[in-house]
Structure 1
Amino acid sequence: MTVTRLDGDQLAQCIDELATLLIDAVDGGASVGFLAPLDHAAAATWWRGRAEPVATGRLAVWAARDGARVLGTVSLAFPDKPNSRHRAELVKLMVHRDARGHGLGRTLLETAESAAAATGVTLLHLDTETDSPAESLYRSAGWTRAGVIPDYAAEPGGLLRPTTLYYKHVKALPAAVDEAAGAAGRPLAR
């Protein structure tokens, strides 16, 4: 299993595999922003829409592959406001049902956390469906529950469910802090 940060060309090359992963997540009940049934064309279109944010550095996407098959993904969304450069949102952590239970979700989470620290990000946040399997992963990885919003999002079957917000402080790596201090007002390197 390899985990690789995708550039724009790499993202474009694995749209079909990422779409298949997204469909599997939705079919498996994951509340990742889509209703079931999700067809391949819609899933591929959504992933194609990530190309511009990846190209501009506002979004970082990692894919976990076992050969040519994408079995997991995670992303970091970086805000573009000057007062928000210290934080990022963890989004779309997905592991194919065939690959669950082997630590891939934790590996992807640790990859995103390390990458955030390397860019000088010190605060991560996310939201997840309350009482979902993902919550135990986040809690065991040191994320702090900030609160619950009732009826926040519809799960794949359309039922409104509460969402739990989490955050985690990560320690910026010294090189990232030095670079940020030298940049004086410029965005952190992504």
Structure 2
Amino acid sequence: MIKDVSVRRIGANEAVGCIEALAEVLVDCVEGGASVSFMLPLPREKAVAFWRGVTDSVARNECVLLVAEDRDGRILGTVQMIVAQPDNQPHRADIAKMLVRRSARRCGIAQRLMAAVDEVAREEGKTVLVLDTVTGGDAERLYERAGWQRVGVVPKYALMPDGEFCATTFFYKHL
């Protein structure tokens, strides 16, 4: 059991220093079958490049980055809130890349990350959140327990890391 997990928002400068650890989390999740935009095999360099792009977005205030860490500062999970939206949607944000290391799952970390996203969204003046996830996966149940409303399912929306099609369920949450 993992104890003493803290969830916090990190800024661009700190995020740059976390790129390697975040890449580790992403590779672990994709290798575990998570459909989060990447295919197998996921080269570490590609994961690092992705996180460099995220840190650039954080620096431009387009994205909020949250991390869950153990008491030794090891990153166990992460989630992003994309705040850069069209002019007619300043009240909305997209939730993306909710990732938890396989070794740290079923310890409440994802639930804590999602609660922290709600809190940060309120601080940022966001009242509508949207996300999508693999239909039938563990994350779908997590979001439902956290009060998210199912909008619908799109069959064959994306590919799993092994190349198989998967359906995607879309959710929203009003704060």
Q: TM-score range, shorter-chain basis?
A: over 0.9
Q: 1:153-175 CA distances to partner (integer Å, 9 max, x unpaired)?
A: 101111111100000001xxxxx
RMSD: 0.9
1:43 paired with 2:47, answer yes
Q: 1:24-45 CA distances to partner (integer Å, 9 max, x unpaired)?
A: 1101111111011112111011
Rg (Cα) greater in structure: 1
Contact residue 61 and residue 84 of structure 2 kept, 8 A: no
Amino acid at match of 1:51: T
2:64 maps to 60
Amino acid at match of 1:9: N
Q: State how 1:165-176 maps to structure 2 within 5 Å.
A: 165-170=170-175
TM-score normalised by the chain length of structure 2 = 0.94
1:2 paired with 2:6, answer yes
Cα separation, 2, equivalents of 1:54 and 1:45: 14
Where in structure 1 are there 5+ consecutive unaligned residues? 171-190
Moved over 2 A (4+): none
Identity percentage of aligned residues: 41
Match of 2:85 among 72, 75, 80: 80
- The count of aligned residue pairs is 170
Where in structure 2 are there 5+ consecutive unaligned residues? none
Match of 2:151 among 129, 146, 151: 146
Cα separation, 2, equivalents of 1:68 and 1:111: 18
Q: State how 1:169-184 maps to structure 2 within 5 Å.
A: 169-170=174-175
Cα separation, 2, equivalents of 1:82 and 1:37: 38
